[in-house]
């Protein structure tokens, strides 16, 4: 099992500040509370030096620097998870989420399996190691190796950590990407009378330690990722997501298995979704870079196009429906019957957060990649040990019979 834990540039630089101020302001670009004075973080100083040296940078380059810069990146050093951090994910909201997903792992219980985690965050990898591994067996660490950490889980399963999917051994695998794709760098484009123009980030000429959005004066290379029949006036494209989906698709087509992608997203309908979070609240994406999480909703229609011809895809399906199909109501009833009143209230609150359409129920989506033959009654891709033909619904994407 592998877990993914989530052309014109030369002339542009030569033109120095030959950019168009970006006057439109998307709903997520600002928290609505401009700071009284700019917080000059180490990352902001780094970005200002970079822009002064090379010119305005794309939103994709900005995200990559802010989140994963080896020296100052948000995911590399910051404690971002939990109540005292900046965000919380479904497994932390309620134990029901993890218990429902444990059913996917149960089909592999009699198989010879190993776990491979792709994780760039030093903080998160340490948390994972403390949670998953056996304390009596010391972790093997090698910072210079593609496998930078190894261990054994509490149930005796070998587990390894990688920084890149390409380093994970190929073989029959079940890939789970939970809140992974929404932090990959996106390019943002605005439709203008002159055609599509990419959104860049530049230094505000009136405030030397403040950043602003601008529009590129000419066509930029990433425009090739925009559909010719695109009707929206603002789009976000993520080439890196396409590369990863193509890699997953090739692996699944070659060796079998399946991939499940769970994330905030849409099916090619939304426009501006780029936003920041700090202390569980919306945060201006250009303010105090390096202190807040940056994210953009996943365009599942793009992932589907990238997988076409190699594997089949299912979804996106809303989290509310997916978890209901996975039997969350049955599991909730079992837990409630065994719990005291404080625990019951906690379970019900977590269930509401996961399932309520106004909360995560309709904002979070599930999307699957699997071999074409899986949908035509051949062997089940989520069970490496099963050889008998199966025409059962794919777990989570069809209603199953629960007893």
What digits encode the pLDDT tens for the residues 303-356? 999 999 899 999 999 999 999 999 999 999 999 999 999 999 999 999 999 999
- Ranges 133-137, 216-220, 322-326: which has the least confidence: 133-137
pLDDT in tens, 165-215: 999 999 999 999 999 999 999 999 999 999 999 999 999 999 999 999 999
Q: Greater confidence, 105 or 166?
A: 166
What pLDDT does 6 receive? Answer: 53
pLDDT above 90 (res 46): yes
Q: Please tell me the distance from the alpha carbon of residue 4 to that of residue 15, in angstroms, as a whole number.
A: 39
The string over 293-314, giving b where at least 16 C-beta atoms fall within 10 Å of a residue's C-beta and e elsewhere, is: bbbbbbbbebbbebbeebbbbb
The two structure tokens encoding residue 394: 């794919």
Q: Please tell me the distance from the alpha carbon of residue 155 to that of residue 1, in angstroms, as a whole number.
A: 15
Q: Left, alpha or beta for 151 (phi > 0: left; psi -120 to 50: alpha)?
A: beta
pLDDT above 60 (res 365): yes
Q: Please tell me the distance from the alpha carbon of residue 397 to that of residue 259, in angstroms, as a whole number.
A: 13
What pLDDT does 121 receive? Answer: 82
Q: Greater confidence, 206 or 9?
A: 206
What pLDDT does 96 receive? Answer: 87
Residue 318 has phi, psi (to 5 degrees) of -60, 150
- Ranges 121-125, 213-217, 389-393: which has the least confidence: 389-393
What pLDDT does 51 receive? Answer: 97
Residue among 121, 83, 107 nearest 5 (CA): 121
pLDDT above 70 (res 16): no
Q: Taking all residues of the chain, what is their mean pLDDT, rounded to a whole number? A: 85
pTM for this entry = 0.86
Question: Is residue 193 helix, strand or coil?
Answer: coil
pLDDT above 60 (res 15): no
Longest dimension (CA), the chain: 69
The two structure tokens encoding residue 293: 């999480």
Determine if the peptide bond prior to 160 is cis (ω within 30°).
no
Identify whether the C-beta of residue 214 lies closer than 8 Å to the C-beta of residue 19: yes
Domains parsed from the chain with CATH numbers: 60-169 (no CATH), 171-186+238-374 (3.40.50.12710)
Identify whether the C-beta of residue 271 lies closer than 8 Å to the C-beta of residue 25: no
Angle ∠(223,315,304) on CA atoms, nearest 5: 30
């Amino acid at each position: 099992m592998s877990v993914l834990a989530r052309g014109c540039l030369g002339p542009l630089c030569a033109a120095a500040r030959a950019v168009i101020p970006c006057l439109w302001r998307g709903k997520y670009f600002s928290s609505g509370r401009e700071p009284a004075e700019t917080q000059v973080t180490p990352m902001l100083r780094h970005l200002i030096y970079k822009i002064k040296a090379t010119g305005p940078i794309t939103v994709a380059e900005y995200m990559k620097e802010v989140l994963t810069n080896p020296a100052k990146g948000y995911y590399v050093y910051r404690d971002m998870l939990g109540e005292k951090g900046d965000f919380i994910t479904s497994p932390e909201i309620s134990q029901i989420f993890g218990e429902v997903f444990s059913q996917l792992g149960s089909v592999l219980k009699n198989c010879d399996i190993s776990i491979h985690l792709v994780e760039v965050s030093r903080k998160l990898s340490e948390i994972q190691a403390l949670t998953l591994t056996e304390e009596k067996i010391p972790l093997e660490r090698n910072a210079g190796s593609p496998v930078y950490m190894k261990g054994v889980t509490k149930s005796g399963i070998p587990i390894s950590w990688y920084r890149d999917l390409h380093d994970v051994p190929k073989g029959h695998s079940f890939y789970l990407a939970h809140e992974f794709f929404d932090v990959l760098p996106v390019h943002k484009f605005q439709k203008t009378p002159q055609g599509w123009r990419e959104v860049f980030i530049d230094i505000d000429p009136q405030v030397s330690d403040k950043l602003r959005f601008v529009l590129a004066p000419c066509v930029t290379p990433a425009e090739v990722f925009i559909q010719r029949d695109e009707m929206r006036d603002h789009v976000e494209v993520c080439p890196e997501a396409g590369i990863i989906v193509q890699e997953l698709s090739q692996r699944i087509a070659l060796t079998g298995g399946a991939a499940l992608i769970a994330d905030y997203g849409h099916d090619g309908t939304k426009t501006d979704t780029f936003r920041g979070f700090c202390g569980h609240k919306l945060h201006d994406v250009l303010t105090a870079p390096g202190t807040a999480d940056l994210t953009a909703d996943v365009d599942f229609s793009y992932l589907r196009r990238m997988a076409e011809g190699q594997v089949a895809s299912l979804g996106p399906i809303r989290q509310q429906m997916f978890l209901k199909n996975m039997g969350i109501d049955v599991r909730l009833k079992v837990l409630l019957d065994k719990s005291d009143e404080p625990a019951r209230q906690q379970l019900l609150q977590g269930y509401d957060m996961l399932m309520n359409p106004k909360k995560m129920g309709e904002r979070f989506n599930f999307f699957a990649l699997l071999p074409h033959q899986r949908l035509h009654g051949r062997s089940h891709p989520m069970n490496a040990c099963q050889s008998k033909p199966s025409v059962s619904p794919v777990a989570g994407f069809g209603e199953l019979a629960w007893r």
